[in-house]
């Protein structure tokens, strides 16, 4: 089993059931030209986000970590016309690239980018919720903090999805010294004792290597 094989399978999936259109390819291209790291969700993962948006009938989405706008474009496209997505990005220069790509993809009216560290943006979001879906994909050490905040602001029946929780399998290492890994372990331990959500983590391979995401359903109370 190898990275080449994981990538070949993602490529086949991309050629068949999750084809990218010009706007999505343009967003990746623009991000590359501007020097942004190519760490956006893979096309199959992005398609899963779209399906989740549709499954929960989301109208309000919050995203942590915009990068070049790739996942934001995908999720915004799955929203109804009057749906709204707010996405938080620490770096102004990334946000600028994302703004252009999101506008070019035709979903600019649905997407608001807030620039600055996400933790600082949160107090300003109190009047924007409750959210139907929250996608956590920013600085990984803060994933548990973002999750805790989101949990109080996601409607019953809504979803919180956290990317990059498996981290090459280091999630299983109780002695990991890596702060990002320790944060994902803490998140899982937090959820063990959290009656308000029902959750699972799915390990993934693909163009982005070996990782995984957590999906948490906020329980009706
Ligand atoms: N969701 C994107 C990928 C996000 S990559 C996609 O799939 O297309 C992670 C992003 O989080 C980067 O753009 C990084 O600049 C941003 N980020 C890092 N720390 C942050 C913070 N404290 N607050 C907000 N964004 C942050
Ligand atoms: C990184 C961030 C991501 O969101 C991701 O999916 C992969 C890598 C990173 O910061 O390296
Ligand atoms: Mg990610």
Residue 70 Cβ < 6 Å to ligand 1: yes
Share in percent of the chain as helix, strand, coil (round to 5): 45, 25, 30
pLDDT tens-digit series, residues 153-162: 999 999 999 9
Tokens for 150, please give them: 């989101």
pLDDT reported for residue 220: 77
The residues, any chain, with a CB within 8 Å of residue 58's CB and separated by 6 or more, are 52, 78, 79, 83, 132, 133, 158
Ligand 2 atom closest to Cα of 40?
6
pLDDT tens-digit series, residues 153-190: 999 999 999 999 999 999 999 999 999 999 999 999 99
pLDDT reported for residue 221: 64
* pTM score, whole prediction: 0.98
pLDDT tens-digit series, residues 126-151: 999 999 999 999 999 999 999 999 99
169 alpha carbon to ligand 2 midpoint, in Å? 15
Whose alpha carbon is nearest atom 2 of ligand 2?
A: 39
Average pLDDT over residues 92-104: 98
- Which of 20, 138, 144, 183 has the most ligand 1 atoms within 8 A of CB, as the residue to mutate? 138
Strand partners, 111: 85
Which regions of the chain does DSSP assign to beta strands (E)? 60-64, 84-89, 111-115, 131-136, 154-162, 197-206, 209-218
- How confident is the prediction for the chain on average, in pLDDT? 97
Taking ligand 3, which is a single-atom ion, which protein residues have CB atoms under 5 Å away?
137, 163-164
């Amino acid at each position: 089993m190898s990275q080449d094989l994981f990538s070949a399978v993602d490529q086949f999936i991309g050629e068949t059931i999750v084809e990218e259109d010009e706007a999505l390819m343009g967003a990746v291209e623009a991000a590359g030209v501007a020097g942004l790291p190519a760490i956006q969700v893979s096309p199959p993962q992005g398609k899963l986000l779209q399906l989740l948006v549709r499954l929960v009938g989301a109208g309000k989405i919050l995203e942590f970590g915009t990068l070049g706008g790739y996942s934001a474009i995908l999720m915004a496209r799955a929203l109804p016309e009057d749906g709204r997505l707010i996405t938080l990005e620490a770096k102004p220069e990334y946000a600028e690239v994302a703004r252009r790509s999101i506008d070019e993809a035709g979903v600019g009216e649905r997407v608001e980018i807030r620039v600055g560290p996400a933790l600082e943006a949160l107090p300003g979001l109190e009047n924007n919720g409750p959210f139907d879906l929250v996608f956590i994909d920013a600085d990984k050490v803060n994933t548990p903090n973002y999750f805790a905040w989101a949990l109080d602001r996601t409607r019953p029946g809504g979803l919180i999805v956290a990317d990059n929780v498996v981290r090459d399998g280091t999630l299983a290492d109780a002695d990991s010294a890596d702060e990002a890994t320790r944060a994902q372990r803490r998140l899982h331990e937090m959820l063990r004792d959290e009656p308000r959500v029902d959750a699972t983590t799915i390990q993934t391979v693909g163009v982005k290597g070996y990782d995984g995401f957590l999906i948490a359903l906020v329980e009706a109370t």
